[in-house]
């Protein structure tokens, strides 16, 4: 039994366009899997399904041997409860502009701790505020350590519009991480960043890999996929074309993956040439 | 009439102007929220009814709306006329609530869907997403257009004179008619400029307070 099992997920959009077809894979605890493929291949749709932002038509998601969902409709609360197993870092970060970096991180953390403290208080017949404050103090200590690891200590009082792209992305990662998801998902975490900032974010993801975080990374960046992945899935038009360890990025078997990778390297070379010329 | 006498008489009218403005503004703001919630509700036919209502209110002059509210109940249904002040306030509140509701709607729709999705994946409840994620962003976005509408509202209180409410402009017109002097009419501008200036400063300070810049 694997840590996460994705079984036969299918999804069509309203215009009847197939976005995911018989999509299955498994992931072990502490592993990182990268989903690669062209735009429209269904990578982001899968992440949205996994995080309960989109319903799937059929299939199932099994985590630690327990089926979380099988395509049946769920209420907002049910979806949110199941979603707490996953964390998602969006491509464009989606930080809340009206809050500082620290408040962006604390808002969901406080909400979660409050809910948990209220439930615990009911069971133990204690005042929830006392439990909440105690838990918050503990979390603040670990948050400060994480912020220091992510090189964000000096930036916590800055608003998102005062952060660089790399810093904002690290805040978004930290915001998802403090909720202690079992699996952390990244949707194109470096696509909007320049090479230097890409490296900063890649280092952060590598650090998470070292400390044993289970991750799913959707990316266009082959360097990132090579650096962080234990497994790689190549998708095209919603179907898995090739799956394997990261060596498939260097020695692809299918012609489609070969074509995709050669196109990417041509793209990267022309980008590099343009950058140098500039 | 001396300058002091004119000032005192205009001040009395100005208090009526302030009363109309303050009551109308305070009532139009929450009514606008109600109208806005109807405009963005999920029932298509309710939205359609609301859009027709908005079209009617925005498409007719406020002066006409004041006259209709004051005279029509008596003319059509033989009902006693409403109090003049009440009629003016009802007309202004409905008219401005419609404009405010459109500003709120634009503010709401300008917030990216990603903010809601981020709130969801971070485990926030629907009310937390609205009050903690959306509301402050909406308020920041709507302050400039709300400032404009608030200033317009101050000036539109002058329309109350059509049903002979003695606001500041009406008071000046009475002085002009009685004492055959024209300058009190121009002098009313000072009163409008004073209140508009104060409101602009307050709203500007509030806008600054909401800016996303660390101190």
pLDDT digits (tens, 9 = 90+) for B5-18: 999 999 999 999 99
Rounded to the nearest 5°, which phi and psi values hold at A203?
-60, -40
pLDDT surpasses 70 at A268: no
Best probe of the B interface among A98, A106, A114, by most B CBs < 10 A, is A98
pTM of the entire predicted model: 0.82
pLDDT surpasses 70 at A57: yes
Which pLDDT value is given to residue A277?
Answer: 59
Total CB pairs under 8 A between chain A and B = 69
* CA pseudo-torsion sign A136, A141, A145, A151: positive
pLDDT surpasses 60 at B84: yes
Which pLDDT value is given to residue A274?
Answer: 58
Nearest to B128 among A51, A111, A159 (CB): A111
Is the separation of the CB atoms in A123 and A131 below 8 Å? no
* Mean pLDDT, residues A137-164 taken together: 91
Which pLDDT value is given to residue A278?
Answer: 55
pLDDT surpasses 70 at A169: yes
Which pLDDT value is given to residue A270?
Answer: 65
Query: What residue in A sits closest to B122 (Cα-Cα)?
Result: A108
* The two structure tokens encoding residue A147: 């912020």
pLDDT one-digit tens code per residue, A219-253: 988 888 998 999 999 999 899 999 999 899 988 88
Which pLDDT value is given to residue A267?
Answer: 65
Question: Among A37-46, B58-67, B98-107, B153-162, whose mean pLDDT is lowest?
Answer: A37-46
Which pLDDT value is given to residue B144?
Answer: 93
Residues 6+ apart with CB under 8 A from A188: A44, A91, A218, A219, A220
Which pLDDT value is given to residue A275?
Answer: 54
At B169, is the pLDDT very low, low, confident or very high (cuts 50, 70, 90)? very high
Query: What residue in B sits closest to A116 (Cα-Cα)?
Result: B123
- Asked if the C-beta of B131 comes within 8 angstroms of chain A's C-beta atoms, the answer is no
pLDDT one-digit tens code per residue, A6-30: 999 999 987 888 899 999 999 999 9
- Residues of chain A with C-beta less than 8 angstroms from the C-beta of B137: 96-98
The domain covering B3-209 belongs, at the CATH homologous superfamily level, to MetI-like (1.10.3720.10)
Is the separation of the CB atoms in A184 and A177 below 8 Å? yes
Which pLDDT value is given to residue A192?
Answer: 73
Which pLDDT value is given to residue A269?
Answer: 63
pLDDT surpasses 60 at A255: yes
Q: Which residue has the higher pLDDT, B22 or A191?
A: B22
Parallel/antiparallel/unpaired status of strands A4-12 and A18-27: antiparallel
Which pLDDT value is given to residue B60?
Answer: 96
Average pLDDT of chain B to the nearest whole number: 93
* Mean pLDDT, residues A40-61 taken together: 92
Please count the other Cβ atoms lying within 10 Å of the Cβ belonging to residue B129.
18
* Mean pLDDT, residues B60-72 taken together: 94
Query: What residue in B sits closest to A101 (Cα-Cα)?
Result: B214
* Mean pLDDT, residues A44-66 taken together: 93
pLDDT surpasses 90 at A263: no
The enclosing H or E element of B85 equals helix B84-110
Query: Dihedral through CA B68, CA B70, CA B75, CA B79, nearest 10?
Result: 130
Of all residues in chain A, what percent carry a pLDDT higher than 70? 95
Cβ pair A53:B132 closer than 8 A:
no
* Mean pLDDT, residues B130-144 taken together: 92
Which pLDDT value is given to residue A276?
Answer: 58
pLDDT one-digit tens code per residue, A174-228: 999 999 999 999 999 888 777 778 888 888 899 999 999 999 999 988 888 998 9
Which pLDDT value is given to residue B50?
Answer: 95
Rounded to the nearest 5°, which phi and psi values hold at A28?
-90, 160
> Would you report the helix, strand and coil content of chain B in percent, each value rounded to 5?
85, 0, 15
Cβ pair B212:A160 closer than 8 A:
yes
Which pLDDT value is given to residue A262?
Answer: 85
Question: Among A81-90, A250-259, B144-153, B183-192, whose mean pLDDT is lowest?
Answer: A250-259
What is the spatial distance between Cα B195 and Cα B190, in angstroms, rounded to a whole number? 9
Q: Which residue has the higher pLDDT, B170 or A71?
A: B170
- Residues of chain A with C-beta less than 8 angstroms from the C-beta of B114: 90, 92, 94
At B81, is the pLDDT very low, low, confident or very high (cuts 50, 70, 90)? confident
At A271, is the pLDDT very low, low, confident or very high (cuts 50, 70, 90)? low
Cβ pair B124:A84 closer than 8 A:
no
Which pLDDT value is given to residue A124?
Answer: 82
pLDDT surpasses 60 at B214: no
Ranges of each domain in chain B: 3-209
What is the spatial distance between Cα B141 and Cα A102, in angstroms, rounded to a whole number? 23
């Amino acid at each position: 039994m694997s840590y996460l099992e994705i079984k036969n997920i299918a999804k069509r959009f309203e215009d009847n366009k197939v976005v995911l077809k018989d999509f299955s894979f498994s992931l072990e605890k502490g592993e990182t899997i990268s989903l690669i493929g062209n735009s429209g291949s269904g990578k982001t749709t899968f992440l949205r399904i996994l995080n309960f932002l989109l319903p799937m038509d059929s299939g199932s998601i099994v985590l630690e041997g327990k089926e979380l969902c099988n395509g049946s409709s769920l209420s907002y609360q049910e979806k949110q409860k199941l979603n707490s197993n996953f964390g998602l870092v969006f491509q464009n970060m989606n930080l809340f502009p009206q809050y500082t970096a620290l408040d962006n991180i604390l808002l969901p953390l406080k909400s979660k701790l409050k809910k948990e403290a209220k439930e615990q208080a009911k069971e133990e017949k204690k005042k929830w505020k006392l439990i909440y404050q105690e838990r918050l103090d503990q979390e603040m200590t670990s948050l400060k350590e994480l912020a220091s690891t992510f090189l964000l200590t000096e930036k916590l009082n800055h608003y998102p519009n005062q952060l660089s792209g790399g810093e904002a992305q690290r805040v978004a990662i930290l915001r998802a991480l403090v909720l202690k998801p079992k699996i952390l998902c990244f949707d194109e975490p470096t696509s909007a960043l320049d090479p230097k900032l890409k490296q900063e974010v890649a280092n952060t993801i590598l650090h998470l890999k070292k400390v044993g975080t289970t991750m799913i990374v959707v990316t266009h960046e082959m360097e990132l996929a090579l650096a962080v992945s234990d497994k790689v899935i190549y998708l095209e038009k919603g179907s898995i074309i090739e799956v394997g360890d990261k060596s498939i990025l260097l020695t692809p078997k299918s012609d489609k993956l070969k074509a995709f990778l050669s196109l990417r390297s041509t793209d990267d070379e022309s980008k590099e040439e343009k950058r140098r010329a500039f | 009439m001396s300058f002091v006498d004119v000032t005192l008489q205009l001040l009395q009218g100005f208090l009526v102007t302030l009363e109309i403005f303050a009551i109308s503004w305070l009532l139009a703001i929450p009514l606008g929220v109600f109208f806005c919630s109807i405009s963005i509700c999920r029932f298509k036919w309710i939205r359609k009814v609301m859009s027709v209502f908005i079209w009617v209110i925005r498409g007719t002059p406020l002066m006409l709306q004041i006259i209709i509210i004051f005279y029509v109940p008596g003319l059509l249904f033989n009902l006693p006329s409403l109090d003049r002040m009440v009629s003016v306030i009802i007309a202004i509140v409905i008219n401005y609530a419609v404009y405010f509701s459109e500003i709120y709607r634009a503010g709401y729709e300008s917030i990216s869907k990603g903010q809601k999705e981020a709130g969801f994946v971070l485990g926030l409840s629907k009310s937390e997403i609205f009050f903690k994620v959306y509301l402050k962003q909406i308020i920041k976005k709507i302050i400039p257009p709300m400032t404009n509408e608030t200033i317009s509202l101050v000036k539109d209180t002058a329309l109350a004179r059509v049903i002979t409410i003695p606001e500041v402009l009406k008071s000046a017109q009475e002085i002009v008619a009685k004492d055959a002097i024209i300058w009190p009419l121009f002098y009313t501008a000072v009163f409008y400029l004073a209140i508009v200036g104060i409101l602009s400063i307050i709203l500007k300070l509030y806008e600054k307070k909401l800016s996303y810049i660390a101190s």
